[in-house]
């Protein structure tokens, strides 16, 4: 591993736990202007000021809004996205040079596995991986078995999630972000199959904070290296509380019940 990549990874990973907690704000391209990020300037400030360790932003938002937060949290620049009009195709729209210029500590790319265009997306991931390696930039990949070749009933299976994680490792990804399989036992198989960092995606807003904390606890217990959450943080009524609670589970291995006491409002 190059020195540049080691330095950037050290800023992303907690020095005591070796794990990571990221809040993603890339939904504007993927899903539109969702409730909670209409005023993304204010919401980004709230999340960073609450002590999150890294945020994922598209290049335009990063360029305009991240400068006041430099040094407070790490920046992960998103280099691709799907949209409400092509949900199973993640297209590249940025490169490693832009991530370096923005001062990012990592670049991230999305891949939808099980789609007819999977080969094209993997080709793009391979090219970004090559550039990232040559420039000492950690690579994050959001890899989900969400293509229309995979039945919805099978998308959270350990078999498909393991394949996603392993493909990331095979192509040089440093941190794989993917779905939680539903149990520590099944997710442990995903971690075992992937010789690189694996983090859990939050997905849609969960019914309660306890559900979120339990998934976080179970994932970490199964070997996950952390989480990347979006709506479950910036749509929460108590952003400082939920960030503190998730950090306590990830870095201090607090139980969901112990961590939930840090949340003073909201469910």
User: How far is it, in rounded angstroms, from Cα 194 to Cα 185?
Assistant: 15
Q: Is 89 a catalytic residue?
A: no
Task: Determine the Cα–Cα distance for residues 127 and 38; give it in Å rounded to an integer.
Answer: 33
Provide the residue count of the chain.
Answer: 267
User: 144 by DSSP, 3-state: which?
Assistant: strand
Choice among 78, 177, 214, 254 that is catalytic:
177
222, two tokens: 């199964």
Q: Count CB neighbours of 148 within 10 A.
A: 12
**Catalytic residue (one of 5, 59, 115, 144):** 144
123 is known as an active-site residue = no
Residue 183 CB partners (closer than 8 Å, separation 6+): 218
Residue 220 makes CB contacts below 8 A (sequence gap 6+) with 19, 226, 249, 250, 253
Between β-strands 86-92 and 80-83, what pairing exists: parallel, antiparallel or unpaired? antiparallel
Q: List the Cα angle 82/101/141 in 5-degree steps.
A: 35
**Burial readout 40-76 (b: 16 or more C-beta within 10 A, e: otherwise):** beebbebbbebebbbbbbbbebbeebbeebeeebbbb
- At 16, give phi and psi (nearest 5°): -90, -45
Q: Is 177 designated active site?
A: yes
70, two tokens: 């430099």
Q: Which residues are catalytic?
A: 26, 144, 177
């Amino acid at each position: 591993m190059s020195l540049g990549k080691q330095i950037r990874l050290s800023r992303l990973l907690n020095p005591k736990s070796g794990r990571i907690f990221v809040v993603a704000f890339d939904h504007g391209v993927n899903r539109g202007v969702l409730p909670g990020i209409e005023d993304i300037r204010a919401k980004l400030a709230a999340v960073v000021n609450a002590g999150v360790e890294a945020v994922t932003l598209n290049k335009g938002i990063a360029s305009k809004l991240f400068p006041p937060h430099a040094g407070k949290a790490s920046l992960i620049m998103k280099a691709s996205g799907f949209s409400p009009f092509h949900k199973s195709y993640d297209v590249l729209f940025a490169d490693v040079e832009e991530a370096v210029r923005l001062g990012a500590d990592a670049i991230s790319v999305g891949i939808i596995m099980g789609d007819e265009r999977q080969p094209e997306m993997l080709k793009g991931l391979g090219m970004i991986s090559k550039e990232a390696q040559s420039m000492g930039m950690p690579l994050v990949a959001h890899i989900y078995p969400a293509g229309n070749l995979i039945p919805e009933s099978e998308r959270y299976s350990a078999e498909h999630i393991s394949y996603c994680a392993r493909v990331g490792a095979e192509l040089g990804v440093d941190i794989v972000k993917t779905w939680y399989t539903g149990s520590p036992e099944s997710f442990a198989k995903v971690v075992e199959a992937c010789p690189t960092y694996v983090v859990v995606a939050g997905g849609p807003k969960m019914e309660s904070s306890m559900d979120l904390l339990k998934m976080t606890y179970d994932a970490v217990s199964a070997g996950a290296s952390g989480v990347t959450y979006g709506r479950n943080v910036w749509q929460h009524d108590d952003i400082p509380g939920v960030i503190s609670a998730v950090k306590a589970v990830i870095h201090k291995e607090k139980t969901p019940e112990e961590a939930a006491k840090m949340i003073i409002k909201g469910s």
